[in-house]
Amino acid sequence: MDSDHSGSGDEGNGATPDEAVRQRAVAVVQRILDGAYDGEAELYAHLDWLEQVLRCRYVSDLIFWPDVPPSAQEVVRQALSFGPAIPRPRGCPPDRTNIRR
């Protein structure tokens, strides 16, 4: 899968993703749940995109450390329910606290 996660183009303005972007997010989460990505770089690209369009910095927790095994739709629903994340300060590197070392 390529890393071009095209969407509505409104992802950066604080708006809730439109239905097409939500469906794309569900598909990307399903790929992650299925392990259908080529290595860590692609996985991180998927997670970064999901964080951006869903505006949820905890999307990896919802995927990898859930209370119960999630469906892709449930991950996206929960991520959207958190509301907009507090933006990182300019120049702050991406949060990688939950990445295996």
pTM of this prediction?
A: 0.66
Residues contacting 28, CB < 8 A, separation 6+:
5, 46, 49, 50
pLDDT at 39: 94
pLDDT greater at residue 1 or residue 64: 64
pLDDT at 99: 55
Question: What are 34-90's pLDDT values in tens digits?
Answer: 999 999 999 999 999 999 999 888 899 999 988 888 899 999 999 988 766 556 566
Give the rounded distance of the alpha carbon of 14 from its chain centre.
15
Do residues 82 and 42 make contact, with C-beta atoms less than 8 angstroms apart?
no
pLDDT at 69: 85
pLDDT at residue 10 tops 90:
no
